[in-house]
Structure 1
Amino acid sequence: MSEPFLRVARPEDEEQLRHLDHATWSHVHAVTARPAPDEPFFRDTCGPADHLVAELDGRVVGYVRLGFPTPLPSNAHVRQIRGLAVADEARGKGVGRALVRAAVEEARKGGFRRITLRVLGHNTRARALYESEGFVVEGVQPEEFCLDGTYADDVLMGQKLT
């Protein structure tokens, strides 16, 4: 298998991304309900330009969604990772790491001062990846979510880009 090829998402990626999002959904990382199989992936608030996708052998196997923590002009200097998914068959092949690195580089090139994200406390694999890529824990909201009857911490992570 080759190295992942990263690019900005295109409207025609909709179906592959929708299937990927549905297939990878889990309360390990998601605080929302599983998306319906026909639920659109792209929305008015997060279209193709807000996503970087990873391809292996010509097939979309992952994405990272970028956005802003709030709509406030006072923190428009902060970019936020708002979603990350990697197909099961592509795990352990550097796809997640490549997407995180690309998100950080995209934010840096865009002139942002910081990049942040939120990750569930029990998602140790994702937390380790983010930490290895320079993110640090900046706060924890204990038992912020109740997922299938189990309380989960919301861990806020970030890194300075300047």
Structure 2
Amino acid sequence: DPVQKVTIVGRGQAGGVTWFRPDEDRILMSRKKMLATLAMALGGRAAEELIFDDITSGASNDIEQVTRMARAMVTRLGMSAEMGTLVYGQKEELIFLGREISEQRDYSDAVAEQIDREVRKIVEEAYKQAKNLVKKYRKQLELVAQKLLEVESINREEFEKLFPPPNGKKSGTPQLA
């Protein structure tokens, strides 16, 4: 999805934010697109590690979202060859608790370990992809970082001047999938 805005101005617990918006409505998301989304979300952490040779707590929310999405891929969406096309865990709405949704585990400890391994495998695959993209586009990343240090926020057009869309497309970001 194309970048709409990037800022280094902190908001809430975030030290900076990148907003994305698809050019068209999306109802379904393929496994490849989900992996690309995971890699994109891990881009900040990958950049910290590769450029500063250290990591911070700045990516904690991204890591939470990535873990949640990878777990859904494995337990709810049938996107793990190892786990098959099954749903693991029953979701229940507890109306008397203010519509709180809880999940009941209906599988063994061995299956739970398999799920954890598959989630880890998906996240590690996405992180590897993120690191490869940071290496490939490091020059553009540094241009964007320099501009953000000067002006704090840039919009889509300013971003695309520094980081041209791939393959001559009118807009977008580096192809992840």
The TM-score, its normalising length taken from structure 2, stands at 0.25
Based on CA coordinates, which of the two structures has the bigger radius of gyration? Answer: 2
Greater RCO, CA 8 A, separation 6+:
2
> Which structure's residues are more often strand, by fraction?
1
